[in-house]
Chains A and B, each alone.
Chain A
Amino acid sequence: MEKFIKLKSIPAHIPLMNIDTDMIIPKQFLKTIKRTGLGKSLFYEMRYDESGKLIDKFILNNDPYSKSKILLAGKNFGCGSSREHAPWALLDFGIRCVISPSFADIFYNNCFNNGILPIIIDEKSIQELSEYFKRKEEIEVDLNEQIILYGNKKLTFDIEPAKKKRLLEGLDNIGLSLKKIPNIEKFENSMNKTKPWI
């Protein structure tokens, strides 16, 4: 997994609440058996009309936002299904950081398994950052310092230390958990005695 340390980009802004995973990547693209190649289908129904033509007014279809690495969005981003195709599509498009007042639980966890940083900040701060979207100016995210830099201002954000470490170091969770096999074996041996029906 690619490390996440610092990221600088003109942000894109989709000011909608409850952006669900069906919107982020509709069902017809879940038939793949690969993790890659979903970027062109990100936000498919908002991005393309029924004949498959790009819809001009959709923000990610316009430069410089078609190259944005940071996405600002309304609250409860990523609600709905557990499909990891949603973060895969964002990542494949080039978005590595989503900033929202709140995230749905499964989507939030899925981000950290794909080197995407989901940042939770209040609505007022999103409004401030959206000025940089309008002015087409870059903002910078520094994960180590837990700050977002914009103009000569900065704001801080919270993140669980373990999740931060994972992104900073690009760690493989499975590899780390496999080091705990002795603990897992001990647990299984004990369970075989107390709950033999499992």
Chain B
Amino acid sequence: MSKTLYDKIWDDHLVHEDNDGTALLYVDRHLVHEVTSPQAFEGLRIQGRQVRKPKLTLAVPDHNVPTTDRSKGISDKQSKIQVDTLRNNCKEFGINLFDVNDKRQGIVHIIGPEQGFTQPGTVIVCGDSHTATHGAFGSLAFGIGTSEVEHVLATQTLIQKKSKNFRVNVNGSLPAGVTSKDVILKIIGTIGTAGGTGYVIEFAGEVIRNLSVEQRMTICNMTIEAGARAGLIAPDDKTIEYFKDRPMSPKGENWTKAVAHWKKLFSDSDAKFDKEVNIDAKDIEPLVTWGTSPQDVSPITGEVPDPEKEKDKDRRTAMYRSLEYMGLKPKMKISDIKVDKIFIGSCTNGRIEDLRLAAKLLKGKKIASDVSAMVVPGSGLVKKQAEEEGIDKVFKNAGFEWREPGCSMCLGMNEDQLSSKERCASTSNRNFEGRQGRGGRTHLVSPGMAVAAAIKGYLADVREIN
């Protein structure tokens, strides 16, 4: 019987299935960070339970860590307790930890692939919704709650119901200035933030095939913003090349065996999808969000929408609320929106290719005088690579701050936050109310668009930056 990629990975990890379809799924790779794990380890201790396979879990502090000088430790008391708790739990249960001052430390979804811990065809979970990122390598990857983290630690399995199959085809080729961030914003704007609920989405089509693996990660990363359980992209030669010689990649004979397995990971040509959407690349422009939901997208050349034109009453109410929160008026030009801050980073756009693209546009230019801007590399190794290439100097010379790796202003758990009414062009993934700081106003953009906004001081069109 023909199968989708999702069907294949699912079947390959089925430990047990009840008559009603409730399944016990094997977890090959488990990522852990400091915020969603303390209660899980505490639960194990209370019940006297062990971690079943400590080697299949990798831990890193990322959400809470300062991005400024770390030599004096973490000054925020509660953050310090969480990071210390993670360290103690990893020691007690024998789990591999990249600690705060380890050069491999970074955002959990960036270090997994970077180390080769993430691998095609595996089931990967983490107590973080952006675990979807790892789907870019053809692994079934999704976020779980803390009770489920505890379940995985104790049993190396997870109780799951199978989702339905959804395929999004992005056809054609991307116009100039349009990146994978714009592609995923376009998809979310098209299907809505609940458009993927109940599904696993496979991304396919010429555009996806032509993207680099890092660009594909941006797409899968934001699949959760469309409500889907996971996002998937079939591995190909680029994927295999990416994993060659990574520290935790298979070696020798195992490499040959693994590659043979990875090459079988694709949806059969006659596989059945429960839902399918086609998007033509030529219809995608550089996008920004204007509201407080990732589906609130507009081309940079467009206007803030008028809620009066919205027929759905609930949606209209939500739009009015968003516009009030964002301090915007209907029909104003998007390019007339003035920004205060620029954030380049996060598991969505904090990789070396993102920084290279931004630096290329920024080289020899300065940020607007009334804007403050920062770059937070996704990992210590991304930071090191960028510094070797002189990218840090380009940013610093332009007026950006060059920070230490972590989640930073994507969710503002550390000191990196917006103040009330401050407006930010951000390469992160969520523009929810209060996400980057109470009252803070977030516009989601690609790294190139963030640079354009930094230079002009307004939301601006990357195609106009030479």
Binding site for B on A (CB under 8 A): 15-18, 20, 22-23, 26-28, 30-35, 45, 50, 74-76, 79-84, 87, 102-106, 109-110, 113-114, 123, 160-162, 173-174, 177-178, 180-181, 183-184, 187-188, 191, 195-198
A33 — nearest CB in chain B belongs to which residue? B38
The 30 listed contacts between A and B (C-beta, < 8 Å) are A18-B318, A20-B430, A23-B433, A31-B78, A35-B39, A74-B314, A75-B194, A75-B314, A79-B227, A81-B411, A82-B36, A84-B145, A104-B194, A105-B227, A106-B224, A110-B147, A113-B147, A160-B22, A162-B20, A177-B154, A183-B16, A184-B155, A184-B156, A191-B26, A195-B257, A195-B258, A196-B254, A197-B119, A197-B257, A198-B122
Q: Is B82 among interface residues, defined by CB-CB distance under 8 A?
A: yes
Beyond A162-B22, A180-B16, A180-B24, whether A109 also contacts B128 by CB under 8 A is no
A23 to B26, CA, bound (A): 33
Asked, given contacts A22-B433, A33-B39, whether A16 binds B317 with beta carbons under 8 Å apart, the answer is yes
Residues of B contacting A162 in the complex (Cβ-Cβ under 8 angstroms): 18, 20, 22
> Which B72-105 residues have C-beta < 8 A from chain A?
76, 78-79, 81-82, 85
Check if B456 is an interface residue, CB within 8 A of chain A. no
- Residue B263 at the chain A interface, CB threshold 8 Å: no
- List the B residue with the shortest CB-CB distance to A87: B145
B147 touches A173 (CB 8 A): yes
Q: In the complex, A102→B257 CA distance in Å?
A: 43
Q: CA separation between A6 and B46, bound complex, in Å? A: 29
Q: Does B404 contact A (CB under 8 A)?
A: no
Given known pairs A18-B193, A82-B129, A174-B49, the reply for A28 and B413 (CB within 8 Å) is yes
Smallest beta-carbon distance B265→chain A, Å: 12
How far apart sit A76 and B22, CA to CA, in the bound complex (Å)?
A: 23
With A20-B432, A113-B148, A160-B161 as contacts: A50 and B438 at CB distance below 8 Å: yes
A-B contact count (CB 8 A): 185
**A197 and B39 within 8 A (CB):** no
Q: How far is the CA of A162 from the CA of B160 in the complex (A)?
A: 11
Total interface residues in chain B, CB < 8 Å? 77
**Which B residues are in CB contact (< 8 Å) with A34?**
39, 42
Q: Once the chains bind, are B258 and A197 in contact (CB under 8 Å)? A: yes
Residues of chain A with a CB closer than 8 A to B258's CB = 195, 197
How long is the Cα–Cα vector from A61 to B117 in the complex, in angstroms?
A: 47
Q: A173 and B143: CB pair below 8 A?
A: no
CA distance A174 to B43 in the complex (A): 10
Which residues of A are found within 8 Å of B151, using beta-carbon distances? 173-174, 177
Looking at the assembled complex, report how far the CB atom of A35 sits from the nearest CB atom of chain B, in whole angstroms: 5
Q: List residues of chain B with CB within 8 A of the CB of A15.
A: 314, 317
Interface positions, chain B 133-192, Cβ under 8 Å from A, are 142-148, 150-151, 154-157, 159, 161
The reply to whether A22 and B435 form a contact with Cβ atoms under 8 Å apart is: yes
Interface centre among A50, A79, A110 (most CB of B within 10 A): A79
Answer whether residue B434 sits at the interface, using C-beta atoms and an 8 A cutoff: yes
B299 interfacial by beta-carbon distance below 8 Å: no
User: Closest 8 interchain pairs by CB?
Assistant: A197-B250, A113-B147, A33-B38, A82-B143, A110-B145, A31-B78, A84-B145, A197-B254
Residues 212-247 of B contacting A (Cβ, < 8 Å): 224, 227-229
Asked if B110 is at the interface (CB within 8 A of a chain A CB), the reply is no
- Taken together as a complex, chains A and B put the C-alpha atoms of A33 and B156 apart, in Å, by 23
Interface status of B255 (Cβ within 8 A of chain A): yes
What residues of A have a CB within 8 angstroms of the CB of B20 in the complex? 160-162
